[in-house]
């Protein structure tokens, strides 16, 4: 088998057929693995009526477990992941497979575009350019494409299984841990797939404690990855600088609930990049520079407090 495609799904019968259809009609030998994570909307019954699909049903544990379950059944030389609400562009599987074989690449990537499911309109993402350093790109806040438009080497994927302890940010952890393996990368120009915008997206609906846990997981991912790179002597200044572009807004979000922890992140940013330039604009940037991170965040939190009272 050339390529395995793993699709985890949970109560997404409204879009799963579209995702599956986008994976068909390939020239290379592909296998489609769909893991139903305990759906109750008729997904499993529908899958039983389909041919040419390896279907697995498991009790609901979350997407992370569903993906890992699918990987254990993958027999392709390469593997790709596709959320059941997203879909691929025609021919991308063959193009990326041929590139991987020709260039002996461990990871092939393309760009993505955003598809609005309500309006059926497409928003073009920034033009993708060749990456010199995969980890630098993935550590930063810039456009790093999306795993749905990437092809991975299966034997490498099995070395870095999805992490349930980072369930809200497991996709980020996976890409960074895969990057630690130092894959040889190749790029195929154009759009590889569509990230679908709709009201029931997981991360778009993180509120309250889920948002706090997500921030905590994001922070600990960066601690683990940067420490690993430091131990290996591979934490370049470029990688530090890229990480700071993510850590700065993260510190701001954390400060809304946990100021002292946020101050620690802000201090860490200074250690990583002494020349770090505060990205905020206008008066807020001036306040950060004059009063410092902690005092500025206290002022912002006070403003939020009174704003909530006046609602």
Q: 171 to each of 4, 52, 76, 90, 185, how far by Cα in Å?
A: 18, 27, 21, 24, 18
Question: Average pLDDT by consecutive 10-residue portion of the chain (311 residues)?
Answer: 98 97 97 98 97 96 96 98 97 98 98 96 93 97 95 98 93 97 97 93 65 91 98 98 97 93 97 96 93 95 68 49
Residue 202 has a pLDDT of 62
Burial string for 154-193 (b: 16+ CB within 10 Å, else e) reads beebeebebbeebbbbbbbbbbbbbbbeebebbbbeebbb
């Amino acid at each position: 088998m050339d390529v395995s495609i793993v699709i985890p799904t949970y109560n997404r019968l409204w879009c799963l057929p579209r995702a599956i259809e986008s994976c068909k009609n390939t020239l290379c030998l592909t296998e489609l693995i769909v893991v139903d994570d305990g759906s109750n909307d008729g997904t499993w019954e529908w899958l039983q009526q389909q041919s040419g699909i390896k279907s697995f049903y498991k009790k609901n544990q979350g997407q992370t477990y569903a993906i890992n379950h699918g990987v254990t059944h993958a027999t392709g030389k390469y593997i790709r992941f596709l959320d059941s609400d997203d879909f691929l562009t025609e021919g991308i599987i063959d193009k990326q497979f041929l590139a991987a074989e020709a260039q002996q690449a461990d990871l092939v990537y393309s760009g993505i575009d955003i598809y609005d499911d309500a309006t059926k309109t497409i928003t073009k993402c920034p033009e993708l350019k060749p990456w010199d350093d995969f980890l630098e790109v993935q550590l930063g806040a810039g456009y790093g494409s999306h795993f749905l438009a990437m092809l991975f080497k299966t034997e490498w994927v099995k070395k870095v299984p999805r992490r349930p302890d980072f369930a809200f940010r497991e996709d980020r952890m996976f890409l960074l841990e895969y990057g630690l393996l130092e894959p040889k990368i190749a790029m195929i120009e154009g759009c590889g797939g569509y990230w679908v915008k709709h009201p029931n997206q997981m991360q778009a609906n993180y509120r309250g404690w889920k948002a706090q846990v997500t921030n905590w997981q994001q922070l600990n991912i960066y601690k683990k990855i940067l420490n690993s790179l430091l131990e290996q002597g591979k934490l370049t200044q470029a990688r530090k600088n890229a990480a700071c572009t993510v850590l700065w807004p993260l510190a701001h979000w954390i400060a809304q609930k946990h100021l002292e922890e946020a101050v620690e992140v802000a201090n860490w940013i200074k250690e990583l990049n002494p020349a770090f330039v505060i990205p905020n604009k206008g008066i807020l940037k001036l306040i950060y520079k004059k009063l410092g991170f902690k005092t500025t965040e206290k002022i912002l939190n006070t403003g939020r407090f009174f704003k909530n009272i006046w609602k």
